[in-house]
Amino acid sequence: MPQRTVNDFTIRVATVNGSGSQSSNLVLTNSIFRLGIPVAPKNVFPSNIEGLPTWFDVRVTSKGYRCRTRDVDVLVALNAATWQQDVAGVKPGGVVVHEATYPLTGETQREDLTYYAVPFNALAKEHFSDKGDLRKYLMNMIYVGALAHLLEIPAGVVEEGLRAQFRSKASAVELNMKAVTIGIEYAREHLEKRDKYYLERMSGKTDGYLFMEGNRAAALGCLMGGCTVAAWYPITPSSSLCEYFIQYADKYRVDKETGDRNVAIVQAEDELAAAGMVFGAGWAGARAMTSTSGPGISLMAEYVGYGYYAEVPGVIFDVQRAGPSTGLPTRTMQGDVAFAYTLSHGDTKHIVLLPATVREAYELAMDAFDLADRLQTPVLVLSDLDLGMNSWLTKALPYPKKPFDRGKVLGADDLASMKSWGRYRDVDKDGIPYRTLPGTKHSNAGFFTRGTGHDEEARYSEQPEVWQRGLDRLLRKLETARTTVPAPVVDEKGRNVAIIAYGTTHHAVVEARDKLHDAGIDVDYLRVRALPLSPEVATFVKRHERVYVVEQNRDGQLYGILRTELPPHLIGRLESIRHYNGVPIDAYVIVDPLLEAERAPAVVAE
Amino acid sequence: MTANVNIIGLTRDVYKGLPTTLCAGCGHNSITNHLIKALYEYGVEPHNLAKMSGIGCSSKTPAYFVEQAHGFNSLHGRMPSAATGAKLANRELMVLGISGDGDTASIGLGQYCHLIRRNVDCTYIVENNGCYGLTKGQFSATADVGSKQKSGKINEYATIDVCGLAIQLGATFVARSFSGDGKQLVPLLQAAFSHRGTAILDIISPCVTFNDHEGSTKSYQYVKDHDVVLHTADYISGGKEIAVDYEPGTVHDVQLDDGSHLLLRKLDTNHDPTDAIGALRTIHDASARGEFVTGLLYVDTHQQDLCARERLTKVPLARLDEKALRMHKSEWSKLMESF
């Protein structure tokens, strides 16, 4: 018997898209979580409704890592089309649980793996021939049972997982449990445990945690952040953000007696129209948002530039997917950072928020509405498919503590006590002017909002000095924003080497820093949470000899922004580490090049 | 009430704006004057008026009336989306959108269509001159087949009839008029203000600089010669008694949502503005004859507007605070426990 590997391995379930494996995958995930073991599920799925291959990775991680890992230890093979490729991807010493009819010949017959053949199809046919379409779902549930037996998950725990998945639907729980039991029974009678992978109950690691996707958390942020107008155009991977918002709005924004709603949600004709509705609503005083992905922000560029120059609040969620162009709609990337920062023609710089966790997806969504109102400008919140669509372990989201910050809005009473006001005057010298809302009952309230050149009184102007003065004030506002937006998160202990990252790359950095520590290299870490960059970023770089900027795009987009915005003498300290194959970054993407670079002199010496 | 103020006690001057920067004799300037009259007589509250526009000569005109009101000069062809957002944010606003033929029928055709199918409560004016003025006279998509450009070029491409299209899309108020016919236009504008839903007003408005020559179908002369007036229109505001004598069967009484009436006295034609198919045929037949019909082409006062369909609360969304928008702490805890 080889040494036991407990609570630290990855299970990959390979199935065909549309075969109904999602429920069984989530039940497996939930069952392991119920043993008190942290898990990080990642769904790698195709841009397809039915027929293409899909993989679901459940990373079991006693240390609580959240990022993807390259290693597949346990494969559940339920897709004949990818059978060969799937077996090839299993780590030496790993396990393959497979449909019994798949051939074990040539490349699929590896000496270094343990195989368990289960006649999933035949079992489903035997027990569920009367279940019609449900049969394929139940077949997937049989694998949960077989795996539960092999990994030693008690049947009662799986049943709890089923209850969590199917909520109060007792009949569904019963039927699915029957399928799980068939899997358990089959494994007990026919499979002799020959591998090293085990799950053992843990304590103190998952207390108070729940599973949530970033898109759901962002939708809750919109709900609690006071969003009243949402306009959207369906696009993967952002659709679920608005769909969750609709779901919560239907429940929490409707007067139970009258049916009156205090929210308006419009499915627009395209992303540009969605952006137009957002800025129209923002101008009229509502907190408005749209959610989209890369192709959508390309369309929105026109209105976002308008929002910037005319100074209209609006919140845009960009759940990034792999681009350019249509790219890989169901794969992840941090590829829109540079584009979003300067979205639209002319001199533009936008507020960009970069949530890394589910908690931040929620909190930065709320912050986005405050910042949009406070700074009177578009705010782009850039998450990604990994954060948006995967389920992450997170602590319960806290009830908001802050009231809304509606920014500098003058009401009729304010106007009555003022001799005059000008829409674009910089009264407070922070670059942020005062505004009034349409409907304000005062004869001085009105002004003309326009994307054409205008002076401090919002009058049309082509005067060179007026135009330049306006652009300079917008730059002043950007400087104010540097210290208004969420500050970077810094973990620093005086080391020479550091990492800068943002968004979901964070989770790979966490694991990478542990691995680097094990290899004898400790690194400091700064996580950027917003653009424009906080002044802290420059001082952080100044305190380090080498700073590795890690991100999930080909061109090193934040690296480029840093090179442009940091003092020239600091630029040479930056190194870029990039990952851009569409699947979430793992720790080795950071560890390998960093170790190589940091150990380079030693290697030469050898 | 003195003779110098309207029903809400404001003088006509309040409804004026900055001096126009358009060409002398431009049809758009006449429309602005008719709008000032209509808004004044209607008694629009300036602070509640949202003047929206796109880009182009037409879209500059919101600066030329009701200077006190908020204006939103948006992007080329993108006014409908901003108007939709503004109306949703504050349903008390009276949204008045001004666009042109390029802004509506070319670059903005998609948003125009979707504004109509959502029946956003607003007045949408197309100041239609069949050409691009600011870029010096290129054809727009409303140029008629066979119409001649100033350079001599003849338009060979099918024209987009914004009224016919609107009726097809389920528009609830569609009218066509001529910038030079204030007698017809002012009551149509007022009826449009009273209508709850999208009111489309296509106003033929000759471009004196680039499209007023022989061979153009949008020149003053051509329009005067080929304007088939469907009916005379009288707007009677809500609460006022209808004191017009007419023979039964000669007048169509359109009852609008706010209790006002538009009385349409039939002329030669037998147009029924509640018959969508009939309206399309009337438009088509006139176009085939090289003419165009003016008047209220189609109206349906029984459809819900967007805010009603969305069941929006009476209080403008823009004015709701944390108390109205955030669930109670206990509900939040319950929600978190459900995961």
3-state SS, A124-180, equals HHHHHHHHCCHHHHHHHHHHHHHHHHHHCCCHHHHHHHHHHHHCCCHHHHHHHHHHH
DSSP designation for B235: E
User: In Å, how far is A469's CA from the nearest CA of chain B?
Assistant: 21
- Of A556, A557, A553, A528, give the one whose Cα is nearest residue A541: A528
- pLDDT of A19 above 90: no
pLDDT (0 to 100) of residue A80: 95
Residue A346 CB: number of other CB atoms within 10 A?
A: 9
One-letter amino acid of A487: A
Give the A:B interface size as CB pairs under 8 Å: 211
pLDDT (0 to 100) of residue B244: 66
Q: What percent of chain A has pLDDT over 70?
A: 98
Q: Are strands A8-16 and A53-61 parallel, antiparallel or unpaired?
A: antiparallel
Residue B246 and residue B252 in contact, taking contact as beta carbons nearer than 8 Å = no
Which stretches does DSSP call E strand in B129-166?
131-132, 138-139
DSSP of A248-281: HHHHHSB-TTT--BS-EEEE-SSHHHHHHHHHHH
Spacing of C-alpha B72 from chain mean position? 16
A56 has which bridge partners?
Answer: A13, A43
Domains and CATH numbers, chain A: 5-207 (3.40.920.10), 212-395 (3.40.50.970), 408-485 (no CATH), 489-605 (3.40.50.920)
CA distances from B303 to B114, B117, B119, B171, B299 (A): 16, 11, 8, 10, 10
Residue A229 and residue A277 in contact, taking contact as beta carbons nearer than 8 Å = yes
Q: What are the structure tokens assigned to A524, written together? A: 């400091």
**Peptide bond before A324: cis, by omega within 30 degrees of 0?**
yes
CA of B314: which chain A residue's CA is closest? A260
Q: What are phi and psi of A299, to 5 degrees?
A: -70, -35
Report which secondary-structure segment, H or E, holds A513. Answer: helix A505-518
DSSP of A433-491: --B--TT--STT---EEESS-B-TTS-B---HHHHHHHHHHHHHHHHHHHTTSPPPEEE
Average confidence (pLDDT) over A255-275: 97
Q: What are the structure tokens assigned to A266, written together? A: 């419009």
Q: What are the structure tokens assigned to A198, written together? A: 């085990």
- pLDDT of A603 above 50: no
How is chain A split among helix, strand and coil, in percent rounded to 5?
Answer: 40, 20, 40
Spacing of C-alpha A573 from chain mean position? 29
Contacts of B52 in chain A (CB under 8 A): 280
For B23, counting Cβ atoms within 10 Å of its Cβ (0-12 exposed, 13-18 middle, 19+ buried), the class is middle
Contacts of B307 in chain A (CB under 8 A): 264
Contacts of A226 in chain B (CB under 8 A): 320-322, 325-326
Provide the 3-class DSSP secondary structure of residue B41. helix
CATH number of the B12-322 domain: 3.40.50.970
Residue B332 and residue A252 in contact, taking contact as beta carbons nearer than 8 Å = no
Q: How many CA atoms lie within 13 A of A516 on its CB side?
A: 28
Contacts of A210 in chain B (CB under 8 A): 336, 339
Q: Is any Cβ of chain A less than 8 angstroms from the Cβ of B291?
A: no
Residue B275 CB: number of other CB atoms within 10 A?
A: 12
Q: Is there a contact between A282 and B67 if contact means CB atoms under 8 Å apart?
A: no
- A116: alpha, beta or left? (left if phi > 0; alpha if psi -120 to 50): beta
Contacts of A252 in chain B (CB under 8 A): 327, 331
Tell me how far apart the alpha carbons of residues A331 and A46 are, in angstroms, rounded to a whole number.
8
Q: Judged by CB atoms within 8 Å, which residues 102-121 of B form the interface with A?
A: 110-111, 113-114, 118
Regarding an ipTM greater than 0.90, the answer is yes
Tell me how far apart the alpha carbons of residues A469 and A457 are, in angstroms, rounded to a whole number.
13
Tell me how far apart the alpha carbons of residues B339 and B323 are, in angstroms, rounded to a whole number.
25
Tell me how far apart the alpha carbons of residues A121 and A142 are, in angstroms, rounded to a whole number.
10
Q: Find where tokens 């509250």 sit.
A: B45
Residue A447 CB: number of other CB atoms within 10 A?
A: 22
Tell me which of A242-251, A482-491, B249-258 is least confident: B249-258
CA of A402: which chain B residue's CA is closest? B322
Q: Is any Cβ of chain A less than 8 angstroms from the Cβ of B221?
A: no
Q: Is any Cβ of chain A less than 8 angstroms from the Cβ of B62?
A: yes
Q: What is the pLDDT of residues A329-338, one digit of tens each?
A: 999 999 999 9
Q: Is any Cβ of chain A less than 8 angstroms from the Cβ of B50?
A: yes
User: In Å, how far is B126's CA from the nearest CA of chain A?
Assistant: 19
Contacts of B114 in chain A (CB under 8 A): 268-269, 273
Tell me how far apart the alpha carbons of residues B114 and B124 are, in angstroms, rounded to a whole number.
13
Mean pLDDT per 10-residue run, chain B (339 residues)?
84 97 96 98 98 97 97 98 98 98 97 98 97 93 95 95 98 98 97 98 96 96 95 89 73 93 85 95 95 96 97 98 97 95
Q: Is there a contact between A223 and B318 if contact means CB atoms under 8 Å apart?
A: no
Tell me how far apart the alpha carbons of residues A302 and A305 are, in angstroms, rounded to a whole number.
5
Q: Is any Cβ of chain A less than 8 angstroms from the Cβ of B321?
A: yes
pLDDT (0 to 100) of residue A606: 42
B99 has which bridge partners?
Answer: B126
Q: Are strands A574-578 and B49-53 parallel, antiparallel or unpaired?
A: unpaired
Q: Is there a contact between B336 and A210 if contact means CB atoms under 8 Å apart?
A: yes
Contacts of B87 in chain A (CB under 8 A): 280, 284
Q: How many CA atoms lie within 13 A of B184 on its CB side?
A: 25
| Exposure letters B162-171 (e unless 16+ CB within 10 A, then b) | bbbbbbebeb
Contacts of B318 in chain A (CB under 8 A): 228, 281, 284-286, 437, 439
Tell me how far apart the alpha carbons of residues A74 and A5 are, in angstroms, rounded to a whole number.
12
Provide the 3-class DSSP secondary structure of residue A529. coil
**Peptide bond before A532: cis, by omega within 30 degrees of 0?**
yes
Contacts of B329 in chain A (CB under 8 A): 399
Residue A74 CB: number of other CB atoms within 10 A?
A: 25
Residue A348 and residue A312 in contact, taking contact as beta carbons nearer than 8 Å = no
Q: Are strands A39-44 and A229-232 parallel, antiparallel or unpaired?
A: unpaired
Question: Least CB-CB distance to A280: which of B67, B82, B337?
Answer: B82
Q: Is there a contact between A278 and B80 if contact means CB atoms under 8 Å apart?
A: no
Q: How many CA atoms lie within 13 A of A378 on its CB side?
A: 34
- pLDDT of A194 above 60: yes
CA distances from B243 to B190, B231, B248, B262 (A): 18, 18, 14, 13
Q: Is there a contact between B327 and A460 if contact means CB atoms under 8 Å apart?
A: no
CA distances from B33 to B52, B174, B204, B286 (A): 17, 21, 15, 28
Q: pLDDT grade, residue A50 (50/70/90)?
A: confident
- pLDDT of A1 above 70: no
Residues 6 or more apart from B85 whose CB is under 8 A from it?
A: A229, A231, A276, A277, A278, A279, A280, A281, A282, A283, A284, A286, A288
Q: Is there a contact between B82 and A283 if contact means CB atoms under 8 Å apart?
A: yes
Spacing of C-alpha A289 from chain mean position? 17
- pLDDT of A542 above 50: yes
Q: What are the structure tokens assigned to A160, written together? A: 């709890």
Q: What percent of chain A has pLDDT over 90?
A: 93
